[in-house]
Structure 1
Amino acid sequence: MYQPINEQFAAATRQFAETAAQANRLALDNASAVFGLQLAAIEERVNATFAFFGEAAEVRDLDGLKTLLPKGVQVARENLERGVSTGQEVFGRTMKAQGAITELAKSQFEAATKTTLADVEKAVKGATATKAAAK
């Protein structure tokens, strides 16, 4: 009597576990890509900043300081631009990953709904046939 229910429950549980594993894989892939992007951006910014500090350490007079100031502003501007660009790319990748996870969940809900409707229709037909046979 409970065998069909147990089979349906086991199938639904298996499908849920597979979907959760796929969603986790997508999330981990996104996290890995985002971490790589941010690490590369930090590396670029640190290299540019230390190069500027190296030049600043070599300044010995006021004229050297005057030429260093525009370079400092340029380094700061480039660092800000790299940070914003990286942030936008990270946001875009994250949105893309979330969209893929949403589509995965949507397809699973649609499949579960389709299966449930088919089971309900089968049960209704069986109940109707039983009622007709009893008359």
Structure 2
Amino acid sequence: MIEQYNNQVLAFSKSFAEAAFKVQGLALQSFEKIAELQLKAIESRANATAAFVTEALEVRDFDGLKAIWPKGVTLAKESAEKAYATSQEVFGINVKTSEALGELAKTNFVATNETIKTNVDSFKKAATAAVK
């Protein structure tokens, strides 16, 4: 009886370790995707800003300033749109990760519940047999 209990404890420990490993893997994959997405967005915006600043440094008179002003507004607009789009993609990745984590938890709960039910039934049978 004690041996069966020890085996159950070991099985639950193994199940918990496997689930923790899967959760960590999902979290790291999500983090990697988000970091890559944000780095690409920062890189593209930094390149666009550098190009604009280079052009702006060449302005020497008011007419040049009037010519570059719309480009500055366009840069600001594009940067804001890119930031919004990136945040939406990050949100989507987080939602997918949360769904995957929820499904993993559900699967583990169902498997654990079935194992416990099976073990309780076998203990009841063993106890009934011992009483007779």
2:29 counterpart letter in structure 1: D
2:103 — aligned with what?
103
1:44 — aligned with what?
44
The whole-number CA distance in structure 1 between the counterparts of 2:126 and 2:3 is 17
- What is the aligned-residue RMSD (CA, Å)? 1.2
Once the two structures are overlaid, the 10-residue window that deviates more, 39-48 or 92-101, is 92-101
2:103 counterpart letter in structure 1: E
The whole-number CA distance in structure 1 between the counterparts of 2:4 and 2:111 is 18
Structure 2's unaligned 5+ residue stretches are none
Listed as ranges, the matches of 1:104-119 within 5 Å are 104-119=104-119
1:33-77 CA-to-partner distances (Å, cap 9, x unmatched) read: 110000000000001111111110111111110111111010001
2:30 — aligned with what?
30
Count of aligned positions? 132
1:35 counterpart letter in structure 2: A
Identity %: 45
The whole-number CA distance in structure 2 between the counterparts of 1:29 and 1:110 is 25
2:44 counterpart letter in structure 1: E
- The answer as to 2:75 corresponding to 1:78 is no
The whole-number CA distance in structure 2 between the counterparts of 1:123 and 1:5 is 10
Which 4+ residue blocks in structure 1 deviate beyond 4 angstroms? none
Structure 1's unaligned 5+ residue stretches are none
2:125 — aligned with what?
125
Query: Taking structure 2 as the reference length, what is the TM-score of the superposition?
Result: 0.94
Q: CA deviation at 1:128?
A: 3.5
Q: CA deviation at 1:94?
A: 1.3
1:69-126 CA-to-partner distances (Å, cap 9, x unmatched) read: 1110100010011011001101110111121111111101110001101111222233
Q: CA deviation at 1:19?
A: 0.7
Query: Taking structure 1 as the reference length, what is the TM-score of the superposition?
Result: 0.92
